Amino acid sequence: MSEPLLHDILLLYLYNETDLSETHTAQSAIDSDPLIAGEFRELAHTASGLDRLLIPAPKACLNAVLNYARATAS
């Protein structure tokens, strides 16, 4: 499997967005290759840091999105 494709699957796996086949591929790769396991740990650590950096959207942005949703819902 190509490295970019595996990287994409690892990201999807990290966020529980893989189908059964991709889940098996990711877990097998993590279990069998220490380099891939390390990459996955690094991705998980980075994602955890990003989650801590999240800031709430300004109220005006939220209202704009909600108003747009209401206006286009039908």
Domain ranges of the chain: 3-72
What's the confidence (pLDDT) of residue 56? 84
Residue 57 pLDDT exceeds 70 = yes
Q: Exposed, middle or buried by CB within 10 Å (0-12, 13-18, 19+), for 20? A: exposed
Q: Kindly indicate the confidence band of residue 58, based on its pLDDT and cuts at 50, 70 and 90.
A: very high
- State the pLDDT at residue 2: 66
More confident call, 47 vs 74: 47
d(CA 68, CA 60): 12
pLDDT of residue 30: 96
pLDDT > 90: what percent of the chain?
74
pTM: 0.66
